[in-house]
Chain A
Amino acid sequence: MLTRKIELLVGVFLLTGLAAFLVLVFKVANIEVKTSDSSYTLTANFTNIGGLKVRSPVKVGGVVVGRVSNIDLDPVKLVAVVTVVMDKRYDKFPETSSLAILTSGLLGEQFLGLTPGFMDDDVSMLKDGDKIDDTRSALVLEDLIGQFLYSMGSKDK
């Protein structure tokens, strides 16, 4: 009978370990299964991506609609090419939409803000593989300070 009790307790131990693993996987980590039929990809060029990273979110009005899947450099034009995987549920964005690199809070992470553009009869919707032309690069604090100092200096003369 003693061995039976031990076997029972070892079983409880292993199951508790498994439960802890499942808690960590599903409650703590964010596992997103990316399948090709539930998403579509867009690309956009930026002159400066600042601190944008792969997996950074794409938000419309604060709602996450996609994630950055790849960041590359165009070898000819020498601009950053950002590939974005969008959720298929949100596929009604007109071609005239614009992408901007924004910062959450004062010191937070950078993310892509998608602003829907105007709709018209001759404006079609964004589809898989499309490129967004209207983009705004990240604000770089050093550039801003440089511009500010420059404009201050020219005003004095």
Chain B
Amino acid sequence: MKLLDRIADLGRSAIELVLGFGRAGLMLWGAIFRWPRVRKGFPLLVRQIYVVGVQSMVIILVSGLFIGMVLALQGYNILVGFGTEESLGPMVALSLLRELGPVVTALLFAGRAGSALTAEIGLMKSTEQLSSLEMMAIDPLRQIIAPRFWAGVISMPLLALMFTAVGIYGGHLVGVEWKGIDNGAFWSILQASVEWRKDIVNCLIKSGVFAVVVTWIALYRGYQVIPNPEGISRATTSTVVQSSLAVLALDFLLTALMFGR
């Protein structure tokens, strides 16, 4: 009998998993394909870009600067052994554009904005604010979820671009100003090895995909919260854990698609 229960549990959790995906998909469908009316929706969107994007800017810029500087310092120590320290530019720029820019931005975004989104919507859900909106014939998917989703999707690629640009200047700071690499060689070798289609467009594609996934998970976790304080804290934790894992796994897949060949 015990064994049978175990098997039933296994089946139940599998069904729960599929159910979760279905609910998340329906939520996204409801949010995306009912674009808020422009006049009413636009102020909501601006407000959410402020919360999600502008308020994440400081952490993104500061960490971009430091990650660029650390990359340059470590890279310099290795490259100087081969006498090719001029290649520091492409090393910093390519690792930022191809991997670190989109990935670290997505991880920071999940921690800074994703968790806040989950907590906010979770609290709305548990204090019945979403149900009240429905009572007033206002679609909460349209009014609450959609602007937040689009704000995340718009903000994150921009944040990733800022992160990368600041990181390259951080690398420049360490490589050229501190370690004394020739300024002209730094930029020219960098420019010769970065390609528009292969590196910059792929950086944008990556961070766009991460933006959809992170924002989606954050919103869904908030929307499906168990309405009590413990439920909200759990939902916030699982937002950060799940979106970080999803970003890292997707990053491998996308890298294999883009640069694997």
Contact = CB atoms under 8 A, between A and B. Distances in A.
Interface of A: 3, 6-7, 9-10, 12-14, 16-21, 23-25, 27-31, 105
Among B155, B165, B199, the one with the most A-chain Cβ atoms within 10 Å of its Cβ is B165
Nearest to A31: B196
Given A10-B50, A29-B195, A20 B158 contact: yes
Across the A-B interface, the 5 shortest Cβ-Cβ residue pairs: A17-B158, A20-B165, A20-B161, A20-B162, A30-B191
A28 B155 CA distance: 22
Contacts of A27: 187, 191
B46 A6 contact: yes
A30 B194 CA distance: 7
B165 to A, nearest CB: 4
Contacts of B165: 19-20, 23-24, 28
B164 A20 contact: yes
Given A3-B43, A6-B47, A20-B164, A25 B57 contact: no
B50 A25 contact: no
A51 B65 CA distance: 36
Contacts of A16: 57, 158, 162
Interface residues of B, number: 31
Q: Is the interface of A mostly helix, strand, loop or mixed?
A: helix
A7 B46 contact: yes
A24 B191 contact: no
Given A6-B46, A10-B49, A30-B194, 7 more contacts: A9-B54, A10-B50, A10-B53, A16-B158, A16-B162, A18-B158, A20-B161
Interface in B68-93: 84, 93
Contacts of A18: 158
B158 A29 contact: no
B49 A13 contact: yes
B192 interface: yes
Contacts of B162: 16-17, 20
A23 B87 CA distance: 20
